[in-house]
Structure 1
Amino acid sequence: MRHLLLATLPLLLAACSGGADDAASDEAADAQPGNPYANAALDLQGTGIVVPAQEGFEELALPFGSARAPTEATLGNVLGAAVDESHEANDCGLTFTRYEGVTLSFRDDVFAGYSAEPPYSQIGTRAQLLADPNISMVPDSTLGDEFVIGAAEGPVISGLFDGAGDDAGVAHLWAGETCVAR
């Protein structure tokens, strides 16, 4: 059932629609640190991140458990330079690399989790998501309007709606090991 969810839930997230090959080359040459490519897309999953084929790149899987350096290099090629990073463990024992809209968590230089914000968290409205039987609200969450995608036995993607109304969007998504204060 988890596989059905991942196949049917529109988690292929795109900041903008793709352009011509010439434009892709120009964007790659013009990319500045902290400025993601205009049409970068990521498929956020409960087991890691898949970079769909785009901008001349093949589809690339970044499962949890991947080494830090190649994971950063792959996402750097798609999203541009990292905007922040830490090699010193936080209170959760994790280090991180942050790109515009996506933060990767590492434990002992191994990809352990991610968190995403717009544009990569924009997967639908509250009403659209809660109509899916594989998405449920987290009762009594101390984080706010928290939901999970997937079965409790995992892997799951967690998220926060940016409001209570049916038209509320998704403010944050995360999966794997992240440092979420409850």
Structure 2
Amino acid sequence: MQIGMMRGLIAGFALALLAGCGPTQEPDANKSIVFQGNADELIVPKAEPANIANVAEVAEPAVNLAPDGLSLVLPTGATRHMAFGMPRDVTTRAIAAALGSPIEEGDNQECGAGALSFASFRGGLGLYFDGGKFVGWDLDGRDGGRFATAAGVGIGSTRKQLESATAIRIEDSTLGVEFSAGDLSGLLSSRDPEGEVTNLWAGTTCIAR
């Protein structure tokens, strides 16, 4: 073999070695991540943080009001009903899954129905317990809680909307303009058609009269 050809082969081999030992290119954080192995390539698109936050927000269970308890609406659309008489710990855990831990818990010895235990959640929702059983709930509009019945009745609903959803009875009581619709009760800001619901409750509660 000629000397010139030998030198050319050696130089080419050296350049190849240098290229192989060069710095590894860092992956672009804005691009998809590619996993390689014995199987075909698996490409996982990079998730946007905003999308992740939106998914988490949508996935939160929702709480619906009912005359005989509360309903937990899951992200799948399935509903779990917590009827009066269910154990306190089961009811509290279920509501906490949607609203977070209770902001206050304790006992009230001065309720009209006798001593009751309670758990207060954000949004103005309060749960009441007697003998370790769920017996009632109440709701006020102070914390802007967006809870409603299956018929759409909630804080801020007008008397006109209320009467279009169900038959009600209205009376003046020591609490104000009080209404009842079966086992659901509450207060209106006035008797006018545009008077708004300010409070709602059902079951055994600690409403002071």
TM-score by length of 2: 0.61
CA distance in structure 2 between the partners assigned to 1:72 and 1:133 by the alignment: 29
The answer as to whether partners of 2:116 and 2:129 remain within 8 angstroms in 1 is: yes
Q: Which runs of 5+ in 2 are unaligned?
A: 1-50, 148-153
CA distance in structure 2 between the partners assigned to 1:177 and 1:81 by the alignment: 22
Instruction: Report how many residues are paired.
Output: 145
- Partner SS, residue 172 of structure 2: coil
Q: What fraction of aligned residue pairs are identical, expressed as a percent?
A: 30
2:173 to 134, 141, 147: 141
Give a deviation string over 1:97-132, Cα, whole Å, max 9, x none.
000121000001110000012332326211221345
Residue of structure 2 equivalent to 1:111:
134
Structure with the larger RCO, 1 or 2 (CA within 8 Å, 6+ apart): 1
1:140–1:167: structure 2 CA closer, same or farther, 3 Å change rule? closer
CA distance in structure 1 between the partners assigned to 2:52 and 2:179 by the alignment: 38
2:105 to 85, 96, 113: 85
**Within 5 A, what are the aligned runs for 1:69-80?**
69-80=89-100
Highest CA radius of gyration, 1 or 2?
A: 2
Determine whether 1:165 maps to 2:192: yes
1:61–1:132: structure 2 CA closer, same or farther, 3 Å change rule? closer
Q: How far does residue 167 in structure 1 lie from its aligned partner after superposition?
A: 1.9
Determine whether 1:99 maps to 2:94: no
Q: How far does residue 60 in structure 1 lie from its aligned partner after superposition?
A: 1.1
Residue of structure 2 equivalent to 1:16:
none
- Partner SS, residue 145 of structure 1: strand
CA distance in structure 2 between the partners assigned to 1:71 and 1:157 by the alignment: 19
Residue of structure 2 equivalent to 1:51:
72
The answer as to whether partners of 1:117 and 1:171 remain within 8 angstroms in 2 is: yes
**Within 5 A, what are the aligned runs for 1:121-136?**
121-122=154-155, 124-131=157-164, 134-136=167-169
Residue of structure 2 equivalent to 1:4:
none
CA distance in structure 1 between the partners assigned to 2:57 and 2:160 by the alignment: 39
The residue type paired with residue 98 of structure 1 is S
The answer as to whether partners of 2:63 and 2:95 remain within 8 angstroms in 1 is: no
* 4+ residue runs over 6 A deviation: none
Q: How far does residue 162 in structure 1 lie from its aligned partner after superposition?
A: 2.6
The answer as to whether partners of 1:95 and 1:106 remain within 8 angstroms in 2 is: yes
Q: Which runs of 5+ in 1 are unaligned?
A: 1-19, 29-36, 151-155
Residue of structure 2 equivalent to 1:66:
86
CA distance in structure 1 between the partners assigned to 2:156 and 2:63 by the alignment: 11
The residue type paired with residue 111 of structure 1 is F
The answer as to whether partners of 2:86 and 2:133 remain within 8 angstroms in 1 is: yes
The residue type paired with residue 176 of structure 1 is G
